[in-house]
Structure 1
Amino acid sequence: MSDKIKDEQHEQHEQHEQHEHHEKFEQLTDEEQRHILEKYDPESNTRDLQGTMLKVVFYGLLAFSLFQLYTAIFGQYTAYLQRSIHLGFALSLIFLLFPAIKKAERTKRNKIPFYDYILSILSIGVGLYWPIMAKELYFRVGNVTTMDLIVGILAVLLTLEATRRAVGMPITIIASTFLAYAFFGPYFPGFLAHRGQDLDSVIQLMFFTTDGILGTPLSVSATFIFVFLLFGAFLVKTGVGQYFNDLAVAFAGHLIGGPAKVAIFSSALQGTISGSSVANVVTSGSYTIPMMKKLGYKKEFAGGVEAAASTGGQIMPPIMGAAAFLMVEFIGGIEYWDIAKAAAIPALLYFTGIWIMTHFEAKRVGLRGLTKEEMPNRIEVLKKVYLLLPIVGIIIFLLIGIPTMQAALWGIVLTILVSSFNKETRLNFKDMIEALVDGARTALAVAAATAAAGIIVGVVVKTGLGLSLANGLVSASGGNVLLTLFFTMLAAIVLGMGSPTTANYVITSTIAAPAIITLLMLDLPEGAAVPMAIALSAHLFVFYFGIIADITPPVALAAFAAAGVSGGDPIKTGFVSAKLAIAAFIIPYMFVLSPELLMIDTTIPQVLWVLVTAISGMISIGAGMIGYWYREVKWYERILAVIAGLLLIYPEGLSDTVGLIMFVSLFAIQYFTRDKSHDKKKSVPAV
């Protein structure tokens, strides 16, 4: 008997060692995470500075944050001064931090070549040109001197190069193409043709008006976005990122296929402070993807879950990757809270859809949740729930009508106060300085992207391209709503590939959204103001599809980053993530056709009914996509399930009734013919 016990103990010891080895093999080191980020996220591909230059950049970033904080607290300078100083800070620091060649050897990245010093100094000069020459520039508005022309050309070229380094090639190519379009308009065919612009006109537009580089996108970067990025940096310093993971495990880890649901829960929370799908994938995915693989999920499915969930973080209120702040400016006559409220149900349905499909996949394969021994102590986790108070505080501040920037400032104050509740999370002076530096570092790419987006907006405004494209798309679709939406979806996905959230929205809203607005306005009297329901649904439509470009093959950066973590095939991971995010391909059509989903002009009972039917619809679509509900779903049942789901998501009386009948019928058939033996099967972790 004792020998048997010894054998069992020996076997358990070997299994424990294998388990530990497996976890060690699976868990990504900080260096591995950094490598993946550098490969798929240009914002993370920075130099390893040392010595004097490290201090110079550190204090430069600190000065950037202090300038932004000062103007946020005591009042901003005039538009030209605020935006040009913001641009000068960003460009000069980008040339010191970001190498010109991304694939340079890591050992060579602690040195700054002479030409980057020159570019950095020129950037400072460009940033200071408006503050120094303001009176003269105001006095001779509209007249561009030789020096103005030189500075304006430098501003454009430096912006494009800084954007290429800090953000990536896609948006740089798009901005450059639009510049070429401004010059060569007469040579374009059909409705794309325009009379063309000369160099003086283009440079004046780009740097000496508020319609180009110094336009609305950069204005939002220099005000709302920067302060919210600082709020996020302070929040991260409290350890809230890891707490999101702990909280998700504590409440979702024990469920069927628990680790996948942890990834969804955690990534949705991370999305409230993260402005990057790729960064979200790598930071939370390095924790959740190995957990999913250990449980038994295939590499591609594990990566797909994390990519879809992390991308969804960008459409998750209240912050939505900072695009909501831009939306306030672009739509006009709308409050920030209206946008967050409108995005709530679509975001809920998005994450519900992913949750449901991972649940059905876990049931189909027979995967268990985490055991009690693998779960953290829920009471201990809840002891740190105070870390979420700043996020709740931001929502309350915005809800009671505190201006957006002041809400962010109070959010920072609340974060510092809340962190003091516990010695482990308390922020000291050094932590606060580092948070200011980290916030400014994050803002560099946003500033470059919004400046480049301003180039695009300027050309569109000057040439009338937005209206021309809108009329062209409506004409190509023959005035058919669904075809127009389909063409606009394709345009938004293509334009959104490889672009960060803020630039993504600026591009898609400027080029693609007018097509939807033009079509929906055809039934209204000529010259009528655009109703909020039309404007908001059009802007959210293109925003959603621009974001979904991150998980839409063939260019699916978030999915590729997830594959880098999981070791799976990148293209297969992309298709899995796109399938899991099916809600994002359906819901935008629904809320354009029926704005009740955006909670516009609805009552509470109507909203509740929309929620019940839409969530039922996502359950039905999830079963159809995965092929499992209470048992395997046959091919014809899958078709019927998807149709029922679409009918239920579309908020209309007849469609809801038919969809509900189909849903209840399918549910009953599945439940009463289920395979009870399958439900009793329990898998073990794959080691």
Structure 2
Amino acid sequence: MTSDESRGPQRVADAEAFAADLDVGARNPLGWQGSLIAGVALLWAVLQVYNASPMPALIAQWTGLNWFYVNSDIERIIHLAFGLTLATLAFPMFKGSPRDRIPWYDWLLIAGGLFATFYLIVFSSAIADRAGLPTTGDLWASAIGLSVVLIATYRALGLPMVIVAFFFLMYVFFGDAEFFPDAMQWKGASFGKAMWHFWMQTEGVFGLALGVSASMVFLFVLFGSLLEKAGAGNYFIKLAFALMGHLKGGPAKAAVVASAATGLISGSSIANTVTTGTFTIPLMKRVGFPAEKAGAVEVASSTNGQLTPPVMGAAAFLMVEYVGISYLEVVKHAFLPAIISYIALVYIVHLEAAKMGLEGLPRKGAARSLAQKLASLALGVAVFCALCLGIYYGLGWLKPVLGSWSLPGMMVLFFAAYLVLLRWAAQYPDLEIDDPNAPFTELPEPGPVAKTGYYYILPVVVLIWNLMIERLSPGLSAFWATLAMIFVMLTQHPLKAMFRGEGLSDWARGWAEFLDGMISGSRNMIGIAVATGTAGIIVGTVSLTGAHQVIGEFIEAISGGNLLLMLIFVALFSLVLGMGLPTTATYIVITSLMAPVIIAVGAKSGLIVPLIAVHMFVFYFGILADDTPPVGLAAFAAAAISKGDPIKTGVIGFSYDVRTAILPFLFIFNTELLLIDVTPAKAVFVFIVAVIAMMLFAAATQSWFLTRSKMWENLALLLIAFTLFRPGFWLDMVEDPYVEVEPAKLVELAGNAPDGASLRARLTGENFATGKIDTVTVRLPLGNQADGDGAMRLDRHAGIAFRTEDDGKVYVDNLAFGGDLQQQGVDFDWEVEAVEQEADRMPKEVFYAPALLLLLLVIWLQRGRVRRAQPATA
């Protein structure tokens, strides 16, 4: 054994300790204190599952008592109380604090947190009666509560988020101080007003973000934890290696696929890096990847796991509330960029392996011909498509047939499928967790590996069924999926033993995995719970002071009103703020501050940006902060395993993630990438074109396509990729996208528009906040023709009414207070300059033709160089 291999287990232990420090807490005392931490975590998980279930409502209905029913306000309070308690118990205060016991000052912090949170429950009626008039007790509870939240955040997440929150608090109290620039100053708030705003109502700590964490995020994180503890994480890793390990640079490609699979159930880039990286990084190094590149591949794969639905680092559920669309819509919009990003990363790994001349790992069995490989690939694709179609259409067809019996019918179908797949799995040995530093001889066959864990898919099918077909809420869907997962955990080992002729044994193993999964799920939630609480301070500051308008004006000023420059500044701001912050917190903060700015500047530039595109934009750059030096927490976790330079690992990982950084800019200008207003056939076409474009972009950034590329070839590939991503850019240079219609016809056009249509109008008027004359372009949704004439459709769906003067000019006569138009700057008496209708133009796809011809030229030239190099190599 080499010295490098002998240090392997220590590297894994170092990485796991690093992840524990950051994700679940490094304190694990023995004796009753250890049992207390486990007991509190288990109780939190049980209460969350119970509250998400239909049981509280049923008990209240049967008994007439509401004691067992917890409303959303109390749910948030209890959720934070558990988060603060576990953060204090599980995370040491300082590096030198004891990890084998709980010191005396932590008991005081626990007591303070419980006092401040349960004060809100005990005195809820009195607090409601004296709204806005805090007593001395209110102020003490608020001050103690905010202090404990900030301390818990420091323990669980480090200083960066505390510093950001502290800065916002200082702005609340000292916003009129001279050290703030004149443009940023505001009148300041009293201590009583601030404490009431942040703690005693739902505008601050107990705001929307904490509510989403309590009602939705916990169940999905718990579901992922249970799936991991049941063995699904190891199954995904083994399956990825069996399928892809034999390819060029196979271990690295398998790392990407395994991280994508575990990212579906994890939602944490650091946990994802450690879970898959302990196995993938040593194998990548073994086939020739340098330590930093091996770590960078794992980091890029793991951070991208947060792009992938259904969890998306908990941001998916926040988008539901902030954007005001359904969870399924969020998943639909997020799906295509995530898949494109992962395909591009696999291709980058392939290019890196080609540049280094690396090969894959040997596979068990005889080598297969190209025809056999293609036939196997075609069969695999056909089976996967058949399963997807069967789940969607088969289960969708069962719903109306079963009617009110759909739930028990699906339970029977689930149990039958579970028994069949489990009997199939029992015919093969259980997958063991391998030592990544042990001698590796050959890859296993993918078929037997796949059959050992097909039944893990069933709880995911339950989740999809409830979300897409039953149309249940995300929280209730996750509850039923979690229930299915618990059933699988408790029964898989005894039933396998029975199918193997060993009797119904091994019950204890299932119960141990279940308890471990419940406790682990709660500990995984600590950081999210305290992060959403602290993010509430920042969001509360924005709502109290209007800070987003100040920052927005600053960004708009330095960008000169240029939309592209403004997006670049927002991206940089997101990266800097996201360093050291969890993705959830980064998303909340950046969205609160910057989303209105992007929408407003876009409207002034004539670009109407859908709200979901704005939120996805800031979310993507918040994710990239996890591997951006000098903080790059995921890069440090990977370096702990690879023993490479963490800064260099982060730099290389960020270079791999450039393809992720380019996507947000693209879907701001081309919303088809988010599957907005596209048909299913168009969605397939967009996917194929976008994948080709992203692979070409990756090839250009890696300076390698079929062989090493020349500079002009890289520029050509970038030009081709840009054209495939946004052909409308060239079409707009040839033909105007819109024709202007006189404003007097606005109401008439609204009345004649088809169902689901909208009008695009350009308005101008005085911005009362700045005193300047602004011009914005807005979209006016019109609903259906059955809703009335043009004026009624505009009033009902766009929240606006117009009046036409004798001279033919049209002005805003009425406007919905707080509506989308008012948020974009439109106000009373603004004039309609023009109504813009889409021009009848040639298809933008015609520009694909010259781009593809240029691509063929590059391919022809590079293939020629490859052919000429082969004899010399031989």
**TM-score if structure 2 supplies the norm length?**
0.72
Match of 1:179 among 169, 172, 181: 169
Q: 1:34 to 1:638 in 2, by over 3 A?
A: same
Match of 1:233 among 225, 243, 248: 225
Counterpart of 1:265 in structure 2 is 257
Alpha-carbon contact 2:25-2:87 (below 8 Å) kept? no
* Aligned residue type for 1:555: V
Q: 1:592 to 1:50 in 2, by over 3 A?
A: same
Counterpart of 1:192 in structure 2 is 184
Alpha-carbon contact 2:15-2:638 (below 8 Å) kept? no
SS of residue in 1 equivalent to 2:604: coil
Counterpart of 1:502 in structure 2 is 584
Number of residue pairs aligned between Structure 1 and Structure 2: 652
Alpha-carbon contact 1:182-1:196 (below 8 Å) kept? yes
- Partner Cα distance (1:416, 1:324) in 2: 24
- Partner Cα distance (2:459, 2:11) in 1: 30
Counterpart of 2:464 in structure 1 is 395
- Partner Cα distance (2:510, 2:319) in 1: 36
Counterpart of 2:17 in structure 1 is 35
Does the alignment pair 1:412 with 2:471? no
- Partner Cα distance (2:488, 2:857) in 1: 51
Q: What is the deviation of 1:675?
A: 4.1
Q: 1:283 to 1:681 in 2, by over 3 A?
A: farther
SS of residue in 2 equivalent to 1:272: helix
Q: What is the deviation of 1:28?
A: 5.3
Note the 1:467-506 alignment, pairs <5 A: 467-506=549-588
Counterpart of 1:8 in structure 2 is none
Q: What is the deviation of 1:680?
A: 12
Counterpart of 1:378 in structure 2 is 446
* Aligned residue type for 2:295: G
Counterpart of 1:249 in structure 2 is 241
Q: 1:162 to 1:534 in 2, by over 3 A?
A: same
SS of residue in 2 equivalent to 1:130: helix
* Aligned residue type for 1:432: F
Counterpart of 1:11 in structure 2 is none
Deviations along 1:474-494, whole A, 9 cap, x unmatched?
232122110111111011111
Q: What is the deviation of 1:410?
A: 1.2
Counterpart of 2:28 in structure 1 is 48
Q: What is the deviation of 1:649?
A: 2.3
Choose 643-652 or 624-633, whichever is displaced more: 643-652
Counterpart of 2:425 in structure 1 is none
- Partner Cα distance (1:323, 1:681) in 2: 51
- Partner Cα distance (1:655, 1:588) in 2: 22
Counterpart of 1:125 in structure 2 is 115
SS of residue in 2 equivalent to 1:369: coil
Deviations along 1:530-552, whole A, 9 cap, x unmatched?
98x61000000000001101112
Q: What is the deviation of 1:25?
A: 4.4
* Aligned residue type for 1:101: F
Does the alignment pair 1:592 with 2:668? yes
Match of 1:163 among 142, 148, 153: 153
Deviations along 1:53-75, whole A, 9 cap, x unmatched?
11222221222122212211125
Deviations along 1:185-234, whole A, 9 cap, x unmatched?
11221432211111001100011111100101111111101111211121
Alpha-carbon contact 1:492-1:512 (below 8 Å) kept? no
Q: CA RMSD in A?
A: 2.3
Does the alignment pair 1:326 with 2:318? yes
Does the alignment pair 1:66 with 2:57? no
* Aligned residue type for 1:395: I
- Partner Cα distance (2:675, 2:576) in 1: 29
Match of 2:291 among 288, 299, 309: 299
Q: 1:553 to 1:643 in 2, by over 3 A?
A: farther
Counterpart of 2:338 in structure 1 is 347
Alpha-carbon contact 1:33-1:283 (below 8 Å) kept? no
- Partner Cα distance (2:697, 2:175) in 1: 46
Choose 363-372 or 381-390, whichever is displaced more: 381-390
- Partner Cα distance (2:102, 2:468) in 1: 47
Alpha-carbon contact 1:80-1:130 (below 8 Å) kept? no
Alpha-carbon contact 1:89-1:127 (below 8 Å) kept? no
Alpha-carbon contact 2:17-2:26 (below 8 Å) kept? no
Structure 2: which 5+ runs fail to align?
58-68, 365-441, 497-505, 729-843
SS of residue in 1 equivalent to 2:106: helix
* Aligned residue type for 1:48: N
Alpha-carbon contact 2:273-2:638 (below 8 Å) kept? yes
Note the 1:514-525 alignment, pairs <5 A: 514-522=596-604
- Partner Cα distance (2:575, 2:586) in 1: 10
- Partner Cα distance (1:151, 1:464) in 2: 26
Q: What is the deviation of 1:673?
A: 3.0
Counterpart of 2:641 in structure 1 is 565
Q: What is the deviation of 1:436?
A: 1.9
- Partner Cα distance (1:651, 1:244) in 2: 38
Deviations along 1:31-58, whole A, 9 cap, x unmatched?
23323325xx522442121111112222
Does the alignment pair 1:95 with 2:88? yes
Q: 1:430 to 1:511 in 2, by over 3 A?
A: same
Alpha-carbon contact 2:579-2:631 (below 8 Å) kept? yes
Q: What is the deviation of 1:345?
A: 1.2
Alpha-carbon contact 2:23-2:271 (below 8 Å) kept? no
- Partner Cα distance (1:393, 1:448) in 2: 30
Choose 545-554 or 71-80, whichever is displaced more: 71-80
Note the 1:408-487 alignment, pairs <5 A: 408-419=478-489, 420-423=491-494, 428-487=510-569
Alpha-carbon contact 2:309-2:331 (below 8 Å) kept? yes
SS of residue in 2 equivalent to 1:576: helix
- Partner Cα distance (1:368, 1:141) in 2: 69
- Partner Cα distance (1:580, 1:562) in 2: 15
Deviations along 1:595-644, whole A, 9 cap, x unmatched?
11000111223222222222111221222222222222122212222232
Counterpart of 2:276 in structure 1 is 284
**TM-score if structure 1 supplies the norm length?**
0.91
- Partner Cα distance (2:459, 2:348) in 1: 32
Alpha-carbon contact 2:85-2:110 (below 8 Å) kept? yes
Counterpart of 1:4 in structure 2 is none
Q: What is the deviation of 1:655?
A: 5.4
* Aligned residue type for 2:523: R
- Partner Cα distance (2:871, 2:14) in 1: 38
- Partner Cα distance (2:681, 2:558) in 1: 40
- Partner Cα distance (1:158, 1:622) in 2: 46
Alpha-carbon contact 2:24-2:526 (below 8 Å) kept? no
Deviations along 1:404-456, whole A, 9 cap, x unmatched?
01110111122234443454798733432332222111111111000000000
Counterpart of 2:73 in structure 1 is 80
Counterpart of 2:749 in structure 1 is none
SS of residue in 2 equivalent to 1:515: helix
Q: Percent identity?
A: 36
Counterpart of 1:665 in structure 2 is 857
- Partner Cα distance (2:595, 2:727) in 1: 23
Q: 1:387 to 1:149 in 2, by over 3 A?
A: same
Does the alignment pair 1:554 with 2:544? no
Alpha-carbon contact 2:26-2:91 (below 8 Å) kept? yes
* Aligned residue type for 1:244: F
* Structure ID, larger Rg: 2
Structure 1: which 5+ runs fail to align?
1-16, 525-529, 683-687
Structure number with higher relative contact order (C-alpha < 8 Å, ≥ 6 residues apart): 1
Choose 21-30 or 168-177, whichever is displaced more: 21-30
Q: 1:484 to 1:35 in 2, by over 3 A?
A: same
Choose 534-543 or 547-556, whichever is displaced more: 547-556
Q: What is the deviation of 1:138?
A: 1.4
Deviations along 1:225-255, whole A, 9 cap, x unmatched?
1111211121112111111101100111111
